[in-house]
A and B are shown apart, each in its own frame.
Chain A
Amino acid sequence: MLLIDCPHCGPRAELEFSYGHEAHIERPKAPEALSDAEWADYLFLRDNTKGVILERWVHSHGCRRWFNVARDTVTYEILAVYPMGAEPPALERKTYV
């Protein structure tokens, strides 16, 4: 069970949140100009890092607002919580093999 520190409501149990997968993926500005491979990249290909990952969460059973989280996917430690649209904080982007 994760304890997620919602920037608006404070620390709450994982059960109150929904997951939005990888953060900082921008919808292509000119979708009609993309090749099939570029579409596949935007739609399907993800980092799926074993280590520190930047991801989106929404407090769906609370304030219903989205925010970004930096989390270690091995230790499950939440390293930072920061608003949507903000640059990711300077962190060591640790990875494991």
Chain B
Amino acid sequence: MQARYSFFSLARNALGYHENWPEAWRSPEPKASYDVVVVGGGGHGLATAYYLAKEHGITNVAVIERGWLGGGNTGRNTTIVRSNYLWDESAALYEHALKLWEGLSQDLNYNVMFSQRGVMNLAHNQHDLRELQRRIHSNRLNGVDSEFLDARGVKEFCPIIDLRQGGRYPVLGASLQRRGGTARHDAVAWGYARGADARGVDIIQNCPVTGFRISNGRIQGVETGRGYIEAKKVAVVTAGHSSVMAGLAGFRLPVHSLPLQALVSEPVKPVIDCVVMSNAVHAYVSQSDKGELVIGAGVDKYVGYGQRGSLPVTEETLAAICELFPIFRRMRMLRQWGGIVDTCPDASPIISKTPVQGLYFNCGWGTGGFKATPGSGWVFAHTVANDNPHPLAAPFALDRFTSGYLIDEHGAAAVAH
């Protein structure tokens, strides 16, 4: 039985030296059969399981994860949340996610430390400026808060930025989404895991999926490291490994798996209280509550499954950060890592039914999946439960690559891809 987290439970457990907290979720043995098996225990997979149970009443569900919860891209991103996408389809999807973020800690009874500190996207030249204003207008028409800051406004919002105009990357203006910000990524995975578990979902870690059983074009179950598990429906949410999973099911996906890297600095006192992103130089920076600068870099240019990332990419990003923020020049970097992102040709995700009946894929989020976690889980759960795409997910089906109805968010999504 789970304890509800509250001020009173905190006070009560403080008296017991915090030794009596119950486990946040169970670690059950897999059952022989489930209504839905979710492959992948990252944020999106756990959110899918949570909303399947909460919104659709489907509780005979297992989440199968080969490693540990949130150990993939959920624990490797730079925790930025925003919804200022250019196209109507994307804006609707990410804005739905942002609205869920705003009530997520209360909904999950788990503090995901969602902090709406504002996300600023910089423009370094006239072309950036025009693109940015186009996106701001598009955002406002779609009901997404977005405003323009001129150079003085940028300096007021983020005083440590170098605006002496002598630098390599002059700042002419920025778009600002005040409702955007950051969230604690691990807590998102844990909160969803706890919420799903409380509704009867089995979370099975250290259990790789090694194959699918398919007969007459319909999914029968999954082969795993802990034996065969029968499933009426299988929902695959495996990010960088989506092509591998599709290969096991006998079809191909239009994605490339690329290492995307990030790094954190030594912790310092509060110095930057917003998120600053630069499209042109592909560098993002924010500061964690621990005081580390959290810096996002670009992707490697070649397909790779090694979770590390190439050094020239790190160098390029750090050079840009030092140029924009001279105050950071003497800081030391503490850790660097990579996560494998599955990028689509149009830089938009795939939330879709597949050629195999009862098998669903949610992938292709590329470099920006974390911000969508609640929305992704919400629409995917609907798609799986009803065997019919959620209205917000329908434009993101696999058939767009055949119909040509691509949702081209390259650069339009406020970052250059």
Chain A residues close to B by CB (< 8 Å): 1-2, 14-15, 18-19, 21, 36-37, 39-41, 43-50, 53, 55, 71, 73-76, 96-97
Query: For residue A40, which residues in chain B have a CB less than 8 angstroms away from its CB?
Result: 254, 401-402
Q: What is the distance, in angstroms, from A81's C-beta to the closest C-beta of chain B?
A: 14
Query: For residue A76, which residues in chain B have a CB less than 8 angstroms away from its CB?
Result: 304, 306
Interface residues of B in 280-315 (CB under 8 A from A): 301-306, 310-312
The reply to whether the CB of B54 lies closer than 8 angstroms to some CB of chain A is no
> Could you list 17 further interchain pairs (A-B, Cβ under 8 angstroms) beyond the known A44-B254, A44-B345, A50-B305?
A1-B312, A2-B310, A14-B310, A19-B302, A21-B303, A36-B404, A40-B254, A40-B401, A41-B252, A43-B401, A46-B243, A46-B254, A48-B255, A48-B303, A73-B305, A96-B244, A97-B248
Interface residues of B in 243-271 (CB under 8 A from A): 243-244, 248, 252-257
Q: Give the residue among A15, A37, A71, A97 with the most B Cβ atoms within 10 A.
A: A97
Query: For residue B306, which residues in chain A have a CB less than 8 angstroms away from its CB?
Result: 73-76
Contact (Cβ within 8 A) A45 B241: no
State A91–B404 Cα separation when bound (angstroms): 37
Query: For residue B310, which residues in chain A have a CB less than 8 angstroms away from its CB?
Result: 1-2, 14
Chain B residues close to A by CB (< 8 Å): 208, 210, 241, 243-244, 248, 252-257, 301-306, 310-312, 345, 401-404
Q: What is the distance, in angstroms, from A17's C-beta to the closest C-beta of chain B?
A: 9
Q: Give the nearest-CB partner of B210 in chain A.
A: A97
Query: For residue A49, which residues in chain B have a CB less than 8 angstroms away from its CB?
Result: 243, 303
Q: Give the nearest-CB partner of B301 in chain A.
A: A19
Partner of A96, one of B248, B301, B305, B402: B305
Instruction: Kindly list the 5 A-B residue pairs having the minimum CB-CB distance in the complex, ordered from nearest.
Output: A44-B254, A48-B243, A40-B402, A45-B252, A19-B301
State A6–B301 Cα separation when bound (angstroms): 17
Contact (Cβ within 8 A) B257 A50: yes
State A68–B304 Cα separation when bound (angstroms): 16
Query: For residue A48, which residues in chain B have a CB less than 8 angstroms away from its CB?
Result: 243, 252-253, 255-257, 303
State A50–B311 Cα separation when bound (angstroms): 21
Q: Give the nearest-CB partner of B342 in chain A.
A: A48
Query: For residue B403, which residues in chain A have a CB less than 8 angstroms away from its CB?
Result: 36
Known: A1-B311, A1-B312. A53 touches B402 (CB 8 A): no
Q: Give the nearest-CB partner of A22 in chain B.
A: B303
Known: A14-B310, A14-B312, A48-B243. A55 touches B303 (CB 8 A): yes
Q: What is the distance, in angstroms, from B131's C-beta to the closest C-beta of chain A?
A: 24
Query: For residue A47, which residues in chain B have a CB less than 8 angstroms away from its CB?
Result: 243, 252
Contact (Cβ within 8 A) B303 A37: no
Query: For residue B402, which residues in chain A have a CB less than 8 angstroms away from its CB?
Result: 36-37, 39-40
Query: For residue A74, which residues in chain B have a CB less than 8 angstroms away from its CB?
Result: 305-306
State A37–B404 Cα separation when bound (angstroms): 10
Query: For residue B254, which residues in chain A have a CB less than 8 angstroms away from its CB?
Result: 40, 44-46
State A43–B401 Cα separation when bound (angstroms): 9
